[in-house]
Chains A and B, each alone.
Chain A
Amino acid sequence: MNGEIETQINLKPSEMLLHLGPQHPLQPGPFLLDLVLEGETVKDATLEMGFIHKGIEKILENRTYLQCIPITDRMCYLASISNNEVFCSGVESLMGIEPTERAKYIRTIMLELTRIQSHLLGIGEYATDIGFLSMFLWMIREREPIISLLEMVTGARLNHSFVRFGGVAYDLPAGFKEKTLRTLNEIRKKVEKHDEIMSRDSVYLKRTKGVGVLSRKAAMELGVAGPAMRGSGVDYDIRKVDPYLLYPDLDFKVITAPNGDVFDRVKVRLSEILESIYIIEQCIDMIPGGPFKQGYNPYLIKPKPGEVYSRVEDPRGEMGMYIVSDGTFKPYRVKVRGPAFATMQALPPLLKGAYMADNAAIASSMDSCTSEVDR
């Protein structure tokens, strides 16, 4: 059937080529992993991406700046507010404006809520991939109130298109503060409980400790980003390295873990949820009054010619956009630097020598988003 490829890579008689994908229950979206298996051990792995290329960068060149915002949502539906933020903050610095004080608070809160729900779903998907369906459903249950909060503010559950140049689309609705504080309190308790399960359950520990170890050096060389990198002990977070919005004034820790195995990557995500809750609780009491957006006509945005690289800390790591303006209504060129692709390309070296059964644990502990990779 696959004779052509198999003769090309000269398999030994004891080896087998297994195409994991493009459609497989393990995967968050289509990608192809060609695994050379000997028994249950992976001898070699090749990664192929690009099955759902959407051409988002090209589409952005053909839209006015305002029209671009909904397109950036579609890069990854779990991080749409971060994607909005990175585009809008780039355009803002091209235009030479700053978001209003109130908008800064709202954007910070929304970004952290996005991080919480993305991490919850990421951990949940990872839990199903190691056969722990109950944990997945518990995580979905915990995620639902966060989605409701986001919906309460933005009117949408996934693709929010919420951030605007110099502000946000809508003001916070009445009762948002109380509802948020109540929800976050509950979620903190539940996440702590899940954290306890995930650090004590012996079967779980056996599956994850020492599996898929990404060394500190390899993580930096491969450009792995976000929780996956911090799980390898690299203390790198855009919120600290290149602070934006309110982050310079906020009190929060960058969560790291030393070992770089599956357990640590997931542990970092769980702890980051708690840290994000802490950040929101700091902000929400201090939201100032005033306008939530700058008073200008969004349909007539025309930044001065120039170029800018803006970056934010996505739930998955460093999300950067390089925007070139030629002084017209449309961006001349937008280049996206997504975190998920960097995380994905760490997979083949990690999978080499792993067990077939560990594929699932390793691949999903990286929490990469195929949609964003193939933007």
Chain B
Amino acid sequence: MDYIQLAFDLLGNPWIRGVVGLIVVGVIFFSAIVMVWLERKFLGDIQTRPGPNRVGGRFGLLQLVADAIKLFTKEDIVPENADKPVHAGGPIVALTSAFLMAVAVPYGVVSFEGSEYLLAVTTMDISALYVEAVAAVSIIALFMAGWGSNNKYSLLGAFRNIARMLGYEVPLGLAVLSVAVMAQSLDFVQIVSRQEQLAWFIFMQPLGFIVFGVALLADLGRIPFDQIEAEEELIAGVFTEYSSMRWGFAFFAEYLHAIVGACLVVILFLGGWSGLPFLGTLFIPPVLWFVGKVFVVIMVMIWIRGALPRVRIDQVTDLGWKVLFPYSLINLVWAAAVAMVVS
């Protein structure tokens, strides 16, 4: 126990806390880099091309470093008539919201000398609600980017963004609510432990999983829901007027959101860091379970990107209001009924 005590003492020191915080930020950034690389390679496989294969050996491992150097050295262009603070603020707010989301996500537990320690930057009673709320901030960030650029294409992208948000935040929230009803808590840790007791919520409420998955894809703005930056329609949508590291921030924010989104799917529906029941005898640390599941979810997201064309914006809002919203209500009733029976 001395070691644990020592660790807690060390964490009391603000300098140490700062260093730990930097490490956490680094890990989050690194995972985004890994995801970008994975996406390129896997999409390359789908599309029968090699993907990055020049920088950093056969597998293009250092491609992202080269891209980062390119982004840092490019000219930073701000349109003359742009609303400069708003234009500059867009990507920063997007990145901030991604980090605020990542803060509340627990990654697993570590057992040490009989007691379990949670791996998370912070825990709170309402972490699910908090993540939902902070995720919504990114939508404001995209609107800032679109509005501040003073470009018609950006503006159209910003409008599409708002239309999409109105349609999808509701089913997304209701799906999270159904999980909360079933777990009787808004705390991620409680939700995971409830799934360990009962069963993974993907089996308890499959409809909720589908609604959450589709709404999440739409919320993240990935193909088939990338209307706000549809290249062939709006050039680059809200990010048309961004260059250099401003664009880099927006790009990173997008991937961070995707990773945190995958974490949410795992925590809310795939049992978090709990292992598969029939593999119970096999010891795999909870953190590895968590990372493995997130990896699978991300691969599925990339696969969807490679396999589907883009949906039109009016069809997107149709899907949100006319399909996902009623289904999410049905799922909420179902979740409440099951929760009553179980308890």
Contact = CB atoms under 8 A, between A and B. Distances in A.
Contact of B232 (A16, A25, A137, A138): A25
Given A137-B49, A356-B156, A357-B230, A130 B310 contact: yes
Given A127-B309, A201-B308, A203-B224, A141 B233 contact: no
Interface residues of B, number: 30
Interface stretch (B33-41, B136-144, B312-320, B325-333): B312-320
B47 A137 contact: yes
Contacts of B124: none
Contacts of B232: 25-26, 128-131, 360, 364
Contacts of A203: 224, 308-309, 311
Contact of A357 (B224, B227, B235, B307): B227
A164 to B, nearest CB: 38
A16 B312 CA distance: 20
Given A131-B232, A137-B49, A203-B224, A357 B306 contact: no
B48 A357 contact: no
A132 B224 CA distance: 9
B64 to A, nearest CB: 20
A273 to B, nearest CB: 19
A39 B310 contact: no
Interface in A348-363: 355-360
A18 interface: yes
A179 interface: no
Contacts of B311: 203, 206-207
Contacts of B152: 16, 18
B6 to A, nearest CB: 53
A204 interface: yes
Interface in B47-85: 47-49, 81
A201 B309 contact: yes
Given A25-B232, A39-B159, A131-B226, A358 B312 contact: yes
Nearest to A26: B232
Contact of A204 (B223, B233, B306, B309): B309
A131 B223 contact: yes
Contacts, number: 81
Name, among B153, B224, B233, the residue most crowded by chain A CB atoms within 10 Å (CB to CB): B233
Interface string B202-232: 0000000000000000000001101100111
Interface string A108-128: 000000000000000000011
Nearest to A125: B232
Interface string B6-33: 0000000000000000000000000000
A191 to B, nearest CB: 15
A72 B175 CA distance: 61
A134 B309 CA distance: 9
A134 B44 CA distance: 9
Contact of B312 (A134, A138, A141, A355): A355
A24 interface: yes
A133 B81 CA distance: 34
Given A18-B152, A40-B156, A357 B309 contact: no
Contact of B314 (A24, A129, A355): A355
Nearest to B311: A203
B78 to A, nearest CB: 16
B47 A355 contact: no
A357 B153 CA distance: 12
A203 B310 CA distance: 8
Contacts of B231: 25, 131
24 contacts: A18-B152, A25-B231, A26-B232, A26-B233, A40-B156, A40-B159, A131-B224, A131-B226, A131-B230, A132-B309, A132-B310, A133-B306, A134-B43, A135-B309, A138-B47, A201-B309, A203-B308, A203-B311, A204-B309, A206-B311, A206-B315, A357-B227, A357-B233, A358-B312
Interface of A: 1, 16, 18, 24-26, 37, 39-40, 127-135, 137-138, 141, 201, 203-204, 206-207, 355-360, 364
